[in-house]
Structure 1
C-alpha cells in the first residue's frame, strides 16, 4: 500500500502540491497566461474587419487599446508604477 501511495505522489505535478501560501501566486500566473492568450486572440479577430475595410483610424485605435490592455497583462509592475506616479502628481 505504501509503495502505491509513493508512486501516486511521484506522478502528481509539483503545482498540485503547492503550499497554501503559493495558491494566490499560482492563480495569478494562470490568469496572466489566459489574459495574454485571450488578448492576442481577440485582437487578431477584431483586426480582420479593420484590415478588410483598410480603416487607418480603426487600426490605430485597436493598436492603442491592445497596447494599453497588454500593458496590464504583460508588465503589471511597470503599469502599477506609472499609475502610482500619476496619482502622486495629481494628489500633490
Structure 2
C-alpha cells in the first residue's frame, strides 16, 4: 500500500527508480521491491523517502482505521439484544 503511494508520487515528480535508489543508498532492485510491496519498509526508510520526495510522511501512510468512517447501522439493535440477555441472566 505504501509502495503504490510512493510510486504514484515519484511518477508525478518525474523521478526514476534509479534516482530514488541512489538517493536512498540502495540498489534499484531493492527499491523496485519496495514499491511492489515485496519488502517491509522501516519507519526510518519512510522518513527518508518522504524527504527525497519532499512530501509529508503522512502523505505516504495509509489512512488509519480511526480516521475512516465506521458504519454504525444496526449497532443499536445488537446492543439492545446484549442488554436484554444480560438482564435476563442477572434476574434469574
Question: What's the TM-score, normalizing by structure 2?
Answer: 0.30
Structure with a larger share of its residues in helix = 1
- Between Structure 1 and Structure 2, whose CA radius of gyration is higher? 2
RCO greater where, 1 or 2, for CA within 8 Å and sep 6 or more? 2
Question: What's the TM-score, normalizing by structure 1?
Answer: 0.30
